[in-house]
Structure 1
Amino acid sequence: MLKNFFWMCSGADTDVLKTSSKSEQIKFVGIGGTVFFTAVMAFIASSYALYTVFDNYYTAVFFGLIWGLLIFNLDRFIVSTIKKQDNKWKEIWQATPRIILAIIIAIVISKPLEMKIFEKEINQVLLTQKNELTLANKNQIANQFSPEITALQNEISQLKQEIDAKETESNALYDTYISEAEGTAGTKLLGKGPVYKEKREKHDATLLELQQLKIDNKIKINEKETQIAALVKQQNNQVVKSQPIIDGFDGLMARINALNELPWLPSFFIFLLFLAIETSPIFSKLIAPKGEYDYKIQDIENAVKTWVTQKENQRKNVVNTDSELNKVIYNELSKEEALYNYKKQKAREILQMQADAFYKSQQKIIS
């Protein structure tokens, strides 16, 4: 039963194989097994690749099965359509399009399995890329809010500088009236005279202005700090919202790009392995000598071709014979006087009917 299954996979005529030698049967079992297991590998590879896209086992297995059956049908078609020829160059020319197709299939099958084999290395590359994207994303979002935050911080600094300037002025006036009272500066008269009172009043007025300025600027500073906090919160929210997009940066295309950043030699050898598997049935047919099965198939095809050729020739002969007979018959009929008179009479009647019809139509127009 397994032998018949592999014969079916090879695309061979099982009725002919049953009457062929053991070596021919074993050869086609090997070809069919290669086609079958190539389809199995295609199913596994496509299921993994589709799982990275849909993130669902059932969907990946369903579409992977369809892809595996498609590859199975293509391989079976490729192998079954290669016919052994008496000329090797004709065989190679016949197999060239199929070899190109086999190369394409090998690339499609090998790439998902490469991603699975080098999954850990790919994850490391993706992690590095995600970290770089995270930093770039934070910088990009920060650049959107930085001008406004910097402007508010500058305004806060200006408000604080106003307080510092007023406080410096108040301290200077304090030192002035104290020095006047001690007699160490100003009039240098010890005691609290008129000049002292004037300087004291000026200091007290400045101190009141300082206290009021502190109150007003504190309110303004608090408002601006609140605005900065709101902007920072909005900035952090954007970072948090965009982070899942970066975390999800591990789809099929991202993994293929990450695989391309790894050393090419291991991937190339895996591709060569699948290319060898995919093209082995084709090359086995090309390399193998013309066997018993091939001769039997050629004999069947030649018999059918001969039968079809005979039928076409018979149809041509029937047509040619009928044409020759018609020529002879019509030549003889054209010489019969009775047929001539009969046709002449009918032609006269037709001409009379046409003349009568024309006369009646003209008569209606005139009347």
Structure 2
Amino acid sequence: MKRFRDFFLFCSGVHVPMLKRAPSETNKYGGIGATIFFTGLLAAFSGGYALWTVFSSPWGAVVFGIVWGLMIFNLDRYIVSGMKKRSRFMQEFGMALPRLVLAILIAVVISKPLELKVFEKEINQELIVMEQQVFKTQEDKVKDRFQQQVNTLNAEIAQLNEGIRQQAIKVDTLQLIAQQEADGTGGSRKQNLGPIYKAKKADADSAAALLQRVTTQNGALIAQKRQQLASIDSTRQSTVGTLDRSHIDGLASRLDALGHLTDRSEPVKWANWFIMLLFITIETAPVFVKLISPRGPYDDLLEAHEHAYIIFRKETIEKSERAYNKRMMIGQTAGVNS
């Protein structure tokens, strides 16, 4: 137990020999040191998971996690040990404010990878949806690339079919007119097969012959254009087949997926905020404990030690200045006598 206590006191950045002269402060600084240690441990897990997400390298994740955790631990230890109790709270708060801002930034950084781990299943489902959207967008772009040619060919095919249809309507109309002339229901209103009927029948036969030619010519063109459409469709499918279908699984994609989840779901949004606030609370706890705790014996001893050092430094500087001035006066006197 003593080893744990000594280790946590080391984590708090306290001066242990001086703290032994104020044993009542041991529990306070031991708690501060434990908070700093576990914050660094969480940072190590967070950094390791973040690197694993990006590079999928177990050894790299372990090494980076250890380095990241030690860096956060050392930074937190410096932040807390650099704070000193003063006689005025506002003065202390003003000095602690930059440290609080830095602690909040650190908390946000180390909480984000762990948030990704907490919502991993939901994020994986969202990534599948995002992949499908990306693939659909890629396919739509390929389709748009060939769409103008397809529209042009379809328009030409429709025009050729319309030419056949119009000629067929004309043939049917002329044949009906000839038939009505023959049976007396139209034209001259006389039932006969005379010259008028023969002329109208000739017009109908001529139109029918033209329909046959138009059907043959347009049919050949339509078949040609349909082959072109089939070729374009084959090219489009082969182009779609060469598209990148790799899975979206990077850190940025997971952050984007988490953003989509928080935008759509209020529970996920609040859970995300609570996790971040939890880490902010853990990260800023040592600073707040040091800030709101009353001035204790250790703070008095530390201030007395610093004050004694300041006085010693001033005395040393004054002695050096007096010695320097004395040497200068001796040198000037020697110069005048000579």
TM-score, normalised on structure 1? 0.73
**What letter matches 1:290 in structure 2?**
R
- The percent of aligned pairs where both chains have the same amino acid is 35
> Where does residue 314 of structure 2 map in the other structure?
309
Instruction: Choose which of 2, 27, 31 in structure 1 pairs with 2:4.
Output: 2
> Where does residue 155 of structure 1 map in the other structure?
156
Residue 220 of structure 1 and its aligned partner are, at CA, apart by: 1.0
Task: Please say if residues 84 and 91 of structure 1, whose CA atoms lie closer than 8 Å, have aligned partners that are also in contact.
Answer: yes
Cα distance change, pair 12–258 in 1 and its aligned pair in 2 (3 A): same
Matched residues in 1 for 2:24 and 2:66: separation?
33
Task: Please say if residues 52 and 251 of structure 1, whose CA atoms lie closer than 8 Å, have aligned partners that are also in contact.
Answer: no
Matched residues in 2 for 1:201 and 1:291: separation?
123
SS at structure 1 position matched to 2:14:
coil
Matched residues in 2 for 1:228 and 1:67: separation?
59
SS at structure 1 position matched to 2:321:
helix
> Where does residue 337 of structure 1 map in the other structure?
none
**What letter matches 2:259 in structure 1?**
N
Could you report, residue by residue, the CA deviation over 1:76-119 in whole angstroms, capped at 9, with x for unpaired residues? 11011112334433322222211111111112222332333334
1:35 maps onto 2:40 in alignment: no
Task: Please say if residues 50 and 60 of structure 1, whose CA atoms lie closer than 8 Å, have aligned partners that are also in contact.
Answer: yes
Residue 121 of structure 1 and its aligned partner are, at CA, apart by: 4.5
Deviates more, 1:309-318 or 1:193-202: 193-202
Deviates more, 1:158-167 or 1:172-181: 172-181
CA RMSD of aligned residues (A): 3.7
1:287 maps onto 2:292 in alignment: yes
Cα distance change, pair 209–59 in 1 and its aligned pair in 2 (3 A): farther
**What letter matches 1:9 in structure 2?**
C
SS at structure 2 position matched to 1:289:
coil
> Where does residue 166 of structure 2 map in the other structure?
165
SS at structure 2 position matched to 1:251:
helix
Could you report, residue by residue, the CA deviation over 1:239-273 in whole angstroms, capped at 9, with x for unpaired residues? 55557379568614413532551434333322222
Matched residues in 1 for 2:145 and 2:249: separation?
24
> Where does residue 272 of structure 1 map in the other structure?
277
1:255 maps onto 2:260 in alignment: no
- Aligned residue pairs total 330
Cα distance change, pair 182–280 in 1 and its aligned pair in 2 (3 A): closer
Task: Please say if residues 49 and 252 of structure 1, whose CA atoms lie closer than 8 Å, have aligned partners that are also in contact.
Answer: no
Q: Please list, as runs of the form range in 1=range in 2, the aligned pairs for 1:1-367 lying within 5 A after superposition.
A: 1-17=3-19, 19-20=20-21, 22-122=23-123, 141-172=142-173, 188-189=191-192, 206-237=207-238, 244=245, 251-255=253-257, 257-258=259-260, 260-261=262-263, 262-263=265-266, 264-333=269-338
Gaps of 5+ in 2: none
Matched residues in 1 for 2:324 and 2:148: separation?
95
Deviates more, 1:147-156 or 1:85-94: 85-94
Q: Which one has the largest radius of gyration?
A: 1
> Where does residue 344 of structure 1 map in the other structure?
none
Cα distance change, pair 227–51 in 1 and its aligned pair in 2 (3 A): farther
SS at structure 1 position matched to 2:294:
coil
Deviates more, 1:57-66 or 1:122-131: 122-131
Gaps of 5+ in 1: 334-367
Task: Please say if residues 133 and 246 of structure 1, whose CA atoms lie closer than 8 Å, have aligned partners that are also in contact.
Answer: no
Matched residues in 2 for 1:59 and 1:214: separation?
73
Matched residues in 2 for 1:4 and 1:90: separation?
31
SS at structure 2 position matched to 1:12:
coil
Residue 135 of structure 1 and its aligned partner are, at CA, apart by: 5.5
Residue 295 of structure 1 and its aligned partner are, at CA, apart by: 3.9
Matched residues in 2 for 1:256 and 1:179: separation?
78
Matched residues in 1 for 2:258 and 2:185: separation?
85
Matched residues in 1 for 2:96 and 2:186: separation?
113
Matched residues in 2 for 1:303 and 1:228: separation?
94
Matched residues in 2 for 1:213 and 1:56: separation?
70
Task: Please say if residues 116 and 255 of structure 2, whose CA atoms lie closer than 8 Å, have aligned partners that are also in contact.
Answer: no
TM-score, normalised on structure 2? 0.78
